Structure 1
Protein backbone atom coordinates (compact mmCIF):
# COMPACT_ATOMS: atom_id res chain seq x y z
CA UNK A 1 0.00 0.00 0.00
CA UNK A 2 1.28 3.45 -0.87
CA UNK A 3 1.87 5.71 2.10
CA UNK A 4 -1.18 7.91 2.69
CA UNK A 5 0.59 10.56 4.73
CA UNK A 6 2.30 13.67 3.33
CA UNK A 7 5.99 14.41 3.84
CA UNK A 8 5.41 16.67 6.85
CA UNK A 9 4.03 13.58 8.66
CA UNK A 10 6.53 11.05 7.27
CA UNK A 11 9.34 13.31 8.48
CA UNK A 12 8.17 12.71 12.07
CA UNK A 13 9.89 9.95 14.08
CA UNK A 14 8.62 6.46 13.26
CA UNK A 15 6.48 4.91 15.99
CA UNK A 16 7.31 1.42 17.26
CA UNK A 17 4.01 -0.52 17.39
CA UNK A 18 3.62 -4.18 18.44
CA UNK A 19 2.38 -5.19 14.96
CA UNK A 20 3.81 -6.10 11.55
CA UNK A 21 3.37 -4.44 8.15
CA UNK A 22 2.45 -0.90 9.10
CA UNK A 23 3.66 2.66 8.78
CA UNK A 24 3.32 4.84 11.88
CA UNK A 25 4.63 8.26 12.82
CA UNK A 26 4.62 9.88 16.25
CA UNK A 27 4.08 13.48 17.29
CA UNK A 28 5.24 13.68 20.89
CA UNK A 29 3.85 16.16 23.39
CA UNK A 30 4.72 16.69 27.04
CA UNK A 31 1.62 14.79 28.20
CA UNK A 32 0.31 13.08 25.06
CA UNK A 33 1.11 11.42 21.74
CA UNK A 34 -0.52 11.65 18.34
CA UNK A 35 0.08 8.63 16.13
CA UNK A 36 -0.51 8.60 12.37
CA UNK A 37 -1.01 4.91 11.48
CA UNK A 38 -1.54 2.90 8.31
CA UNK A 39 -1.80 -0.91 8.09
CA UNK A 40 -1.05 -3.20 5.15
CA UNK A 41 -2.63 -6.36 6.59
CA UNK A 42 -5.34 -7.45 9.02
CA UNK A 43 -4.36 -7.11 12.68
CA UNK A 44 -6.06 -8.56 15.75
CA UNK A 45 -5.90 -6.27 18.78
CA UNK A 46 -5.96 -8.20 22.08
CA UNK A 47 -7.97 -6.83 24.98
CA UNK A 48 -6.14 -4.16 26.96
CA UNK A 49 -6.62 -0.77 28.62
CA UNK A 50 -4.61 2.42 29.10
CA UNK A 51 -5.13 6.18 29.38
CA UNK A 52 -7.87 7.76 27.24
CA UNK A 53 -7.68 7.60 23.47
CA UNK A 54 -9.48 9.29 20.56
CA UNK A 55 -9.12 8.38 16.90
CA UNK A 56 -10.44 9.40 13.51
CA UNK A 57 -10.52 6.94 10.60
CA UNK A 58 -8.89 8.20 7.40
CA UNK A 59 -9.27 5.05 5.28
CA UNK A 60 -10.57 1.50 5.62
CA UNK A 61 -12.29 -0.19 8.52
CA UNK A 62 -11.71 -1.09 12.17
CA UNK A 63 -13.92 -3.12 14.51
CA UNK A 64 -13.59 -2.18 18.17
CA UNK A 65 -15.12 -3.81 21.21
CA UNK A 66 -15.12 -1.05 23.81
CA UNK A 67 -16.34 -2.00 27.29
CA UNK A 68 -18.12 -5.02 25.78
CA UNK A 69 -19.86 -3.11 22.94
CA UNK A 70 -18.80 -3.91 19.36
CA UNK A 71 -18.83 -1.17 16.72
CA UNK A 72 -17.42 -0.83 13.22
CA UNK A 73 -15.80 2.45 12.18
CA UNK A 74 -15.02 3.51 8.61
CA UNK A 75 -13.63 6.55 6.80
CA UNK A 76 -14.75 9.77 8.49
CA UNK A 77 -15.84 8.10 11.75
CA UNK A 78 -14.26 8.84 15.09
CA UNK A 79 -14.14 6.82 18.29
CA UNK A 80 -13.31 7.52 21.91
CA UNK A 81 -12.04 5.14 24.59
CA UNK A 82 -12.00 6.32 28.18
CA UNK A 83 -9.18 5.84 30.66
CA UNK A 84 -8.97 2.28 31.96
CA UNK A 85 -11.74 0.96 29.68
CA UNK A 86 -11.06 -2.54 28.33
CA UNK A 87 -11.07 -2.74 24.55
CA UNK A 88 -10.02 -5.05 21.73
CA UNK A 89 -10.72 -5.33 18.04
CA UNK A 90 -9.61 -5.95 14.50
CA UNK A 91 -7.88 -3.63 12.05
CA UNK A 92 -8.47 -4.50 8.40
CA UNK A 93 -5.81 -4.19 5.69
CA UNK A 94 -5.87 -0.70 4.19
CA UNK A 95 -6.86 0.96 7.47
CA UNK A 96 -5.39 4.36 8.36
CA UNK A 97 -6.11 6.75 11.20
CA UNK A 98 -4.90 9.52 13.44
CA UNK A 99 -5.02 8.58 17.11
CA UNK A 100 -4.55 10.86 20.12
CA UNK A 101 -3.36 9.15 23.30
CA UNK A 102 -3.66 11.09 26.56
CA UNK A 103 -0.42 9.43 27.61
CA UNK A 104 3.08 10.66 26.81
CA UNK A 105 4.65 7.21 26.72
CA UNK A 106 2.05 4.98 25.09
CA UNK A 107 4.48 4.16 22.24
CA UNK A 108 8.17 4.70 21.69
CA UNK A 109 10.05 5.66 18.56
CA UNK A 110 12.03 3.23 16.41
Structure 2
Protein backbone atom coordinates (compact mmCIF):
# COMPACT_ATOMS: atom_id res chain seq x y z
CA UNK A 1 0.00 0.00 0.00
CA UNK A 2 1.44 3.42 -0.95
CA UNK A 3 2.33 5.79 1.87
CA UNK A 4 0.60 8.75 0.19
CA UNK A 5 -3.11 8.84 -0.67
CA UNK A 6 -4.35 9.43 -4.21
CA UNK A 7 -4.76 13.24 -3.85
CA UNK A 8 -1.02 13.50 -3.08
CA UNK A 9 -0.07 11.06 -5.86
CA UNK A 10 -2.13 13.20 -8.26
CA UNK A 11 0.19 16.17 -7.63
CA UNK A 12 2.94 16.79 -10.21
CA UNK A 13 6.14 14.83 -9.63
CA UNK A 14 9.11 16.92 -8.51
CA UNK A 15 12.36 16.72 -10.47
CA UNK A 16 14.82 15.87 -7.70
CA UNK A 17 18.22 14.54 -8.83
CA UNK A 18 18.48 11.65 -6.35
CA UNK A 19 18.26 7.93 -7.07
CA UNK A 20 15.30 5.90 -5.87
CA UNK A 21 13.08 8.88 -5.06
CA UNK A 22 9.47 9.54 -5.90
CA UNK A 23 8.42 13.04 -4.90
CA UNK A 24 5.19 14.97 -5.31
CA UNK A 25 5.20 18.76 -5.46
CA UNK A 26 2.68 21.16 -3.94
CA UNK A 27 3.60 24.61 -5.25
CA UNK A 28 2.65 28.03 -3.92
CA UNK A 29 3.75 31.56 -4.73
CA UNK A 30 6.03 31.66 -1.67
CA UNK A 31 7.09 28.07 -0.85
CA UNK A 32 6.96 24.39 -1.79
CA UNK A 33 5.81 21.31 0.05
CA UNK A 34 7.33 18.05 -1.16
CA UNK A 35 6.02 14.58 -0.32
CA UNK A 36 9.00 12.22 -0.74
CA UNK A 37 9.51 8.47 -0.58
CA UNK A 38 12.74 6.55 -1.20
CA UNK A 39 13.15 3.01 -2.51
CA UNK A 40 16.96 3.02 -2.18
CA UNK A 41 19.59 4.24 0.28
CA UNK A 42 20.88 7.68 -0.73
CA UNK A 43 23.90 9.66 0.47
CA UNK A 44 23.19 13.40 0.50
CA UNK A 45 26.24 15.54 -0.31
CA UNK A 46 26.72 18.69 1.75
CA UNK A 47 24.71 21.66 0.51
CA UNK A 48 22.74 24.67 1.76
CA UNK A 49 19.58 26.53 0.72
CA UNK A 50 16.60 28.38 2.20
CA UNK A 51 14.93 27.07 5.36
CA UNK A 52 13.57 23.52 5.40
CA UNK A 53 11.21 21.82 7.87
CA UNK A 54 10.23 18.18 7.62
CA UNK A 55 8.32 15.46 9.40
CA UNK A 56 9.32 11.80 9.02
CA UNK A 57 6.39 9.61 8.02
CA UNK A 58 8.27 6.31 7.64
CA UNK A 59 11.83 5.02 7.96
CA UNK A 60 15.02 6.74 9.00
CA UNK A 61 17.28 9.62 7.96
CA UNK A 62 20.64 10.70 9.37
CA UNK A 63 21.26 14.44 9.02
CA UNK A 64 24.38 16.41 9.77
CA UNK A 65 23.30 20.03 10.22
CA UNK A 66 26.07 22.56 10.91
CA UNK A 67 28.33 19.69 12.01
CA UNK A 68 25.81 18.08 14.40
CA UNK A 69 24.66 14.55 13.48
CA UNK A 70 21.14 13.50 14.38
CA UNK A 71 18.99 10.52 13.44
CA UNK A 72 15.29 11.04 12.78
CA UNK A 73 12.65 8.29 12.59
CA UNK A 74 8.87 8.05 12.15
CA UNK A 75 7.11 10.91 13.91
CA UNK A 76 10.24 13.06 14.33
CA UNK A 77 10.49 16.59 13.00
CA UNK A 78 13.61 18.37 11.79
CA UNK A 79 14.47 21.94 10.89
CA UNK A 80 17.36 23.15 8.75
CA UNK A 81 17.83 26.93 9.02
CA UNK A 82 18.43 29.06 5.95
CA UNK A 83 22.04 28.78 4.80
CA UNK A 84 22.95 25.92 7.18
CA UNK A 85 25.34 23.43 5.60
CA UNK A 86 23.86 19.94 5.80
CA UNK A 87 24.39 16.42 4.49
CA UNK A 88 23.23 12.98 5.45
CA UNK A 89 22.00 9.53 4.59
CA UNK A 90 18.46 8.55 3.66
CA UNK A 91 17.57 4.88 4.08
CA UNK A 92 15.36 2.83 1.74
CA UNK A 93 11.77 2.95 2.95
CA UNK A 94 12.05 6.56 4.14
CA UNK A 95 9.13 8.92 3.50
CA UNK A 96 8.53 12.47 4.64
CA UNK A 97 6.66 15.69 4.07
CA UNK A 98 9.03 18.65 3.69
CA UNK A 99 8.35 22.38 3.60
CA UNK A 100 10.89 24.51 1.73
CA UNK A 101 10.81 28.26 2.42
CA UNK A 102 11.67 28.75 -1.25
CA UNK A 103 9.15 28.95 -4.06
CA UNK A 104 11.36 27.43 -6.76
CA UNK A 105 13.49 24.84 -4.92
CA UNK A 106 12.38 22.10 -7.34
CA UNK A 107 10.70 22.08 -10.71
CA UNK A 108 8.03 19.75 -12.05
CA UNK A 109 9.44 16.58 -13.61
CA UNK A 110 8.97 16.50 -17.38
Partners of 2:2 and 2:102 in 1: CA distance: 26
Partners of 1:55 and 1:78 within 8 A in 2: yes
Give the total of aligned pairs: 109
Partners of 1:65 and 1:58 in 2: CA distance: 19
TM-score by length of 1: 0.97
The gaps in structure 1 that reach 5 residues or longer are none
TM-score by length of 2: 0.97
Q: Equivalent residue for 2:95?
A: 96
Please list every run of at least 4 consecutive aligned residues from structure 1 whose deviation after the TM superposition is greater than 3 angstroms. none
> Which secondary structure state, in structure 1, belongs to the residue aligned with residue 7 of structure 2?
helix
Partners of 1:30 and 1:102 in 2: CA distance: 11
Partners of 1:42 and 1:91 within 8 A in 2: yes
Please say if 1:25 is aligned against 2:55: no
Partners of 1:3 and 1:23 within 8 A in 2: no
RMSD (Å), alpha carbons = 0.7
